[in-house]
Amino acid sequence: MILDIKDLWYKYPGKHADTALKGISAVVGPGLHLLLGENGAGKTTSLHIMAGLRFPSAGSCTLDGCPTGSRLPSVSSHIFMTGVNMEFPAASISEMARIHAPFYPHFDAFALRDNLAAFGLDADAPLQNMSTGNRQKAKVAYALALKTDILLLDEPANGLDIESRHALQKMMAAHVGPEQTVIVSTHSIRDLENLYDGVIDLHDGRLNYAMTVDDILEHVYFDVSSVAPEDALYSRQCLGRCHSICPNGSGDESNIDFELLYLAARNNKEQLLKCLDR
């Protein structure tokens, strides 16, 4: 299923309220996508609109042609979002599965069991008695088990310890199917960096770019050397080495550095977007 966002605007209620989103347009297909942006860039607001939890002030967000904000069962059953400040309306994960999961046709009870076990959690344990980190684990474990066509995760690794972050990476690799569209908004880029298929970058409510990793690497390459290349779009020193992002005019192969890409879009935006043909 395809998320189609066209000239999307969102202004918070109130006469002097800020405009959170300013004319965003993107088509997001299957894959695991990293949603980048500084605090206040509009990431969570975007996810809320995609999930049908907020209504656009102008423009549209549709799932296979139907507005996500319609909240029709035929649409809502294909989308799920969870975030740090979103609490489940149930006493436990087992109760959540009993009252909520029937609305999601692809829910996988075995995946939920495996996910909870990987995090060392009991499905019947009261959510209110869990630590913040364990509640976060429980929500992510459940969200992945729903197997929705569109899964929206806002800071899924927030509050997770090192071991749990590794478990989350394995869980995502095992339970995100090739036909699913998963969008992860996070500042902890390295937690899932080997899994991302695409990048969506927001800045001050506007879209810098929405591209697959393969398309990005066709346009730029990432260099690590003692001295920055002359044509570098952006460079930074780290542990005595120079990490640079450069135009890829000769088809060079490299691994993507998401943090460097993010910094380049803030420090040399015009040249980077020109190089990305955006």
Q: Give the CA distances from residue 149 to residues 32, 69, 152, in Å, rounded to whole numbers and listed in that order.
A: 12, 16, 10
Shared domain check, 130 and 33: yes
Shared domain check, 185 and 232: no
261-276 pLDDT, tens digit each: 999 999 999 999 999 9
Q: Smallest Cα–Cα separation from 210: which of 198, 221, 222? A: 198
* Residue 129 belongs to domain with CATH number: 3.40.50.300
3-class SS of residue 247: strand
**Residue 244 is part of which domain span?**
213-275
Shared domain check, 269 and 183: no
CB atoms within 10 A of CB 86: 12
Shared domain check, 143 and 12: yes
Shared domain check, 177 and 85: yes
Final residue of a domain: which of 204, 225, 256?
A: 204
Provide mean pLDDT across the span 191-197.
Answer: 90
Q: Is the pTM of this model over 0.85?
A: yes
What's the confidence (pLDDT) of residue 16?
Answer: 67
Shared domain check, 226 and 173: no
pLDDT at residue 220 tops 90: yes
Q: Confirm if 142 and 93 have CB atoms less than 8 A apart.
A: yes
Shared domain check, 219 and 143: no
Final residue of a domain: which of 177, 204, 231?
A: 204
* Domains contained in the chain, number: 2
40-85 pLDDT, tens digit each: 999 999 999 999 999 999 999 999 899 999 988 989 999 999 988 8
Final residue of a domain: which of 176, 204, 232?
A: 204
What whole-number distance in Å separates Cα of residue 127 and Cα of residue 95?
10
